[in-house]
Amino acid sequence: MKAEEQRSHSPPVEVQSRATWEKLYELQVHPLEPGLQDDERRKAPIALEVSRDRYMDLYDFFPIGYITLSSEGIINEVNLAGAALLGIERNKLIGRRFAPFVASEDSEPWHRQFLNTQNCNAKQSCEAAIRRVDGSVFQAKLDSSRMEAGNDSPVRIIISDITERKSMEKEIQERRKEMDDLHMLHATSQTVAAIAHELNQPLLAIASYSSAALMLLNSEAPNLDKVRKAVDGCERQAHRAGKSIRDLLEFLNIQEFSTETFDLNAEIANALDVARSEHELGFECIFQKDEEIPLIRASRTHVQKVLLNLLHNGMEAMQEAGVPLPVILVTVKSIPGENVAQVTIRDNGPGIKEEDIYRLFKPFFTTKAKGIGMGLAVSRSLTETNGGKLWFESQAGSGAIFHLTLPFAS
């Protein structure tokens, strides 16, 4: 029994020395056989000593710090790398508490990790600032594990210097912030330019209509019909300017909203009726709905805006291209394995040029003669805010195809 206890408290050795340990165990525990050679008995302790020295060399000169703490947090063992990291000679570390080396701002996480290590077999990890004896600080990763069963077991710590890694992470964060700031500055300049462009055109038109109206009113026999048309033109351009500003504000500031459960088929039918009444183009609509599709949960207002924007885009594209028999196909279906409904809106217009597809959802990009280029960008933002997706499918000679998904209520 004494030999077994000695063996259980001996330090571990390399795998290659396992046979030597087994031989030494047999020599210590079992009675010697009469025929055992004396030289074999002498070789076993020598091999064990060589193996132990080799292990100690590996332990001491390993580039990562190893520290063994008692259950009270006292340093019992430390390798050379660990002593170098703490900035103090190894013999002066033995018997000191490890906790004071942890910076005050990280002392609580370390104390919690130490207690967790004593209470479970799983390895624990944390990152902490370590303060050396000379006052200098480095960032470290502390991996701790219990060496034996029981709450009084010693704790082995592996301490790694991650200062360089943390410095790189900080630098990356700073660079990312600089890029975000530049992106924001660029977006702001784009926004200002877009606002200036979109307001400049209607303001010039309003000025022209107003001048014409004044000239007509100052004439000896004012033509009231022409004056009325000039005033109507001023009103239209004022509404255009207001719409441009509202679109921009909606994109830049999508505020909190309330959601509700509703029938997607009914909402699409309602959007088609509104689109017909708002647009002069006469088109054929084919609505392939799924009567058994579950209710969805989203902002009804947001969904209506997205649907109307996609429908208006299709109608305007077909009208500008002079399509003789304009058709819009709307399909609703559920996606197997996903808790969403998919809406597909397809027209038989000219479609989207290949070079324009990647810019389709970017703010301020438009292929229309009029427009600020915010419709699809706003529609995608609204869709994603409600937990869905909006994307374009490219098929040669198939017009424009947009897909929209929205989550089911349950």
The CA-based angle 170-174-179, given to 5 degrees, is 145
Residue 161: other Cβ atoms inside 10 A = 18
DSSP bridge partners of 102: 130
Domains of the chain, start order: 1-61 (no CATH), 62-161 (3.30.450.20), 171-252 (1.10.287), 260-407 (3.30.565.10)
**Rounded Cα–Cα distance for residues 20 and 37 (Å):** 16
Angle between helices 18-29 and 38-61 (to 10 degrees): 130
Residue 332 structure tokens: 């609703």
Q: pLDDT 10s per residue in the chain (410 long)? A: 444 444 444 444 444 445 554 555 554 545 545 444 555 556 556 555 655 555 555 566 667 889 999 989 999 989 888 899 899 998 899 999 999 999 999 999 999 999 998 888 888 999 999 999 899 999 999 999 988 776 678 899 999 999 999 889 888 988 888 887 777 676 666 666 666 766 776 788 888 888 888 888 888 888 888 888 888 888 888 887 777 677 666 656 555 678 899 999 999 999 998 888 777 777 788 899 888 899 999 988 889 889 988 998 888 888 888 888 889 999 999 988 889 999 999 998 888 888 888 888 887 677 666 666 677 888 888 898 889 999 998 776 678 899 999 999 98
Q: Which residue has the tokens 């479970």?
A: 120
Smallest CA-to-CA distance from 94 within 130, 69, 129, 119 is with 69
pLDDT attached to residue 3: 42
The CA-based angle 378-379-385, given to 5 degrees, is 90
Residue 29 structure tokens: 């525990």
The upper half-sphere exposure of residue 277, i.e. CA atoms within 13 Å in the direction of its Cβ, equals 6
Residue 203 structure tokens: 């303001």
Encode 296-312: b = buried (16+ Cβ within 10 Å), e = exposed.
bbbbbebbbbbbbbbbb
